[in-house]
Amino acid sequence: MKILGLDVGDSTIGVAITDDLLITAQGRETIFRESLKIDIDKLIEYIITENVNIIVVGLPKNMNGTIGMQGEKTISFVKKLEKKIKFSIRTKDKDVKIEYWDERLTSKAAEKTLINANVRRDKRKKVIDKLAAVYILQGFVDNYNMVNKNNM
């Protein structure tokens, strides 16, 4: 079992995935969005090839906790992804759960990390969403492991 982490934006989707032991999240790629079909097909490929059982999607919230326009766009995208997973011949028999994770300030944290690592601005733009996906997924995984450890 693996968990896939996504940072969904208007022009990119940051992708991260856990290791087999569900301890760490590693950045995989930044998908530069082309069309809904192509974007979803790329994610379906991850679900199949990586044996993904859970997808964690960063949910953009306002600082007061409400869901704004970007959050609504993310939810809309996830509903379409969920429908495709459910009805795709390649994944219809696969039980894939989708979870949302509060992503407030993850892009800022990712940018600060890249600046501190002296990554040039043009390079930062190419990897910031992938790193944000890592932060989203790692937060979820840490919480998941803590909850499951306490339930044992």
- CATH of residue 30's domain is 3.30.420.140
Q: Are strands 25-32 and 97-102 parallel, antiparallel or unpaired?
A: unpaired
pTM of the model as a whole: 0.88
| 152 pLDDT more than 60 | no
Structural domain count of the chain: 1
Residue 30: band (very low, low, confident or very high) from pLDDT cuts 50, 70, 90: very high
Q: How far is CA 113 from CA 79, 109, 118, 122, 134, in A?
A: 31, 6, 9, 15, 12
The pLDDT of residue 114 is: 76
The pLDDT of residue 71 is: 94
Spatial separation of the C-alpha atoms in residues 140 and 146, rounded to whole Å: 10
| 146 pLDDT more than 80 | yes
| 107 pLDDT more than 80 | no
Structural domain harbouring 133: 2-150
148: region left, alpha or beta (phi > 0 left; psi from -120 to 50 alpha): alpha
The pLDDT of residue 4 is: 98
The pLDDT of residue 65 is: 86
Residue 12, phi then psi, degrees to nearest 5: -140, 160
Residue 151: band (very low, low, confident or very high) from pLDDT cuts 50, 70, 90: low
Query: Which of 59 and 1 is assigned the larger pLDDT?
Result: 59
The pLDDT of residue 112 is: 83
Residue indicated by tokens 């994610």: 43
Spatial contact of 58 and 106, defined as CB atoms under 8 Å apart: yes
Spatial separation of the C-alpha atoms in residues 40 and 138, rounded to whole Å: 22
